[in-house]
Amino acid sequence: MSGGGEEEATLEHTPTWVVALVCTVIVAVSLAAERFLHYGGKFLKKRDQKPLYEALQKIKEELMLLGFISLLLTVTQNGITKICVPPGFTHHMLPCDSNEGEGEKSKTPISHFQSFFSSPDISGTVRRLLAEGSSSSSYCARKHKVPLLSLEAIHHLHIFIFVLAVVHVTYCVLTIFFGGLNIRQWKHWEDSIAKDNYETQRVLEPKITHVHQHDFIKGHFLGFGKDSVLMGWLHSFFKQFYGSVTKLDYTTLRHGFIMTHCKSNPKFNFHKYMIRALEDDFKQVVGISWYLWIFVVLFLLLNISGWHTYFWIAFIPFILLLAVGTKLEHVIIQLAHEVAEKHAAIEGELVVQPSDAHFWFHRPHFILFLIHFILFQNSFEIAFFFWILVTYGFDSCIMGQVRYIVPRLVIGVFILVLCSYSTLPLYALVTQMGTHFKKAIFDEHVQVGLVGWAQRVKKKKEHRNDHSGQGSSHDGSSSVGVQMASIFKRASAPEGNPPPPKPEGSV
């Protein structure tokens, strides 16, 4: 394709053994990947890890989306390369200026990702951004125009989308894995509580707790007034870097949750429930939502020479992560202040009152959205760096200067460590302090049984109302069934609803 204008061989002039060999390798690799995901799903179902299984299904959905994107780019690439525009349209919003681009002409036919916005001049100084002998180049050249996007640029875009998805899934898995290891270390706290605090005599033994003398209050109550508010936020900011969750925090928040949502079952395994809830949220984090693709397009648009866009946007997840960690720590302080301001002494153990009012927009679930965006944004930064490194090299002008590259990498590693060590464990614990419990409070078989039973009772009640014209007040199971369906529905959608009734029996 270079030099003498030799054309590439089409499939009709390619040896059949080459076609068969390449096809065999591609099919074998694809089937192996599909079988790996299939047996991985069977293993997770066998281990009764439904949330992780659903996360795996989410990954398969993303792979299917990537396959469709790949097919769409392949089918439409010839048409895209024959969309011609005036040369002046390609002289603006370049990721590399013309001087930087000239220095790399000898390295590759397509300069950089600037092919999104730039193309060769039709005049004598062609930049070699398009492959020599390309039919699309000749097609547009005859019209004294340039292609909107070159064939090689489409291939590079294709690779970038795949790399972004793979890096995002890998990054999320690593964050959840290391964060989960930290959370699972709390199991010995749960076992210790179950061993020491739940004997019958101790539960029934009357006790007066002086609130301001309680260790939890002394560690988080900073007095009254504006100074205490400022000190509370500063304390929250720095605490996320060391001992973000202490045993006292875990014990107090756990007790508040149990006394609010399952008071009749003091032996409720809060740690196991918290792990199930985190695994349930993981399947949302691992996917790439539509609004995240909008951010990808926006960041690609703003990658203009001299703006150092990817340096500045690296601070977005960094700042957001610090804000999320500070807010989660501050919720613990708010819980302590709420008790200390209302009581001087109470009968029994200290009980904090969970409430959505402590969270942004009164929605604990909003924290999950921010963590999702933080992980994706950081994944995007890392994916873009490695894609440029492999595709164009470290010296590429689109890579940027070293003084802008190093801070981006440092921030990426810092976010991974802080999110795994501090923010994710804080999220798993503190977001249980909302008004509503999550549906993970029920075991999987209990969830299925409750929903099925409640739906049958509700249909039975509706059927009787249709025939009798009055409510089935004589059948108490109908009202109970509808109530249980309401409880489960509100547990699944924790924001915007009134608090659910407390479960009467063991959870």
User: Tell me, what's the pLDDT at 51?
Assistant: 62
Cα(147)–Cα(110) distance, rounded to whole angstroms? 13
User: Tell me, what's the pLDDT at 135?
Assistant: 59
| SS3 of the chain: helix, strand, coil, percent, to 5 | 70, 0, 30
Residue of 107, 148, 160, 152 whose CA lies nearest to 134:
152
User: Tell me, what's the pLDDT at 72?
Assistant: 82
In b/e form, how buried is each residue of 109-135, taking b as 16+ CB within 10 angstroms?
bbbbbbbbbbbbbbeeebbbbbbeebe
User: Tell me, what's the pLDDT at 195?
Assistant: 78
- Amino acid letter, 324: V
Cα(71)–Cα(93) distance, rounded to whole angstroms? 28
Show the tokens assigned to 272. Answer: 């196991």
Which residues, 6 or more positions from 417, have their beta carbon under 8 angstroms from its beta carbon?
Answer: none
Q: How many CA atoms lie within 13 A of 32 on its CB side?
A: 6
Burial (CB count within 10 angstroms: exposed 0-12, middle 13-18, buried 19+), residue 205 = exposed
Cα(391)–Cα(378) distance, rounded to whole angstroms? 20
- Amino acid letter, 416: L
Alpha-carbon separation of residue 279 from 28, 166, 225, 282, 284 (angstroms): 32, 20, 40, 5, 9
Show the tokens assigned to 316. Answer: 């977005």
Alpha-carbon separation of residue 169 from 63, 102, 175, 440 (angstroms): 11, 37, 10, 23
Written as tens digits, the pLDDT of the chain (507 aa) is 444 444 566 777 778 888 888 888 888 888 888 888 888 888 877 877 666 777 777 777 777 777 788 778 778 887 887 888 887 777 777 777 755 544 444 444 434 434 433 434 433 333 333 343 345 567 777 877 888 777 888 888 888 888 888 888 888 888 888 888 888 889 899 888 877 765 544 555 567 777 788 888 888 877 776 777 888 899 899 999 987 888 899 999 998 898 888 887 877 889 988 888 888 888 778 877 888 888 888 888 888 877 888 888 889 999 999 999 999 999 999 998 888 888 777 777 888 889 999 999 989 989 999 999 999 999 888 888 888 888 888 887 777 777 888 888 899 899 999 999 999 999 999 999 988 877 767 665 455 555 565 666 767 777 776 666 554 444 444 444 444 455 445 554 444 444 444 443 343
Q: How many residues does the chain have?
A: 507
8 A C-beta contact, residue 370 and residue 316? no
User: Tell me, what's the pLDDT at 63?
Assistant: 76
The torsion defined by the Cα of 341, 346, 352 and 356, in degrees rounded to 10, comes to: -60
Task: Name the strand (E) or helix (H) holding 345.
Answer: strand 345-347
Q: What pTM value is reported for the model?
A: 0.73
Q: Residue ranges per domain, the chain?
A: 82-149, 156-439, 444-492
Cα(440)–Cα(457) distance, rounded to whole angstroms? 23
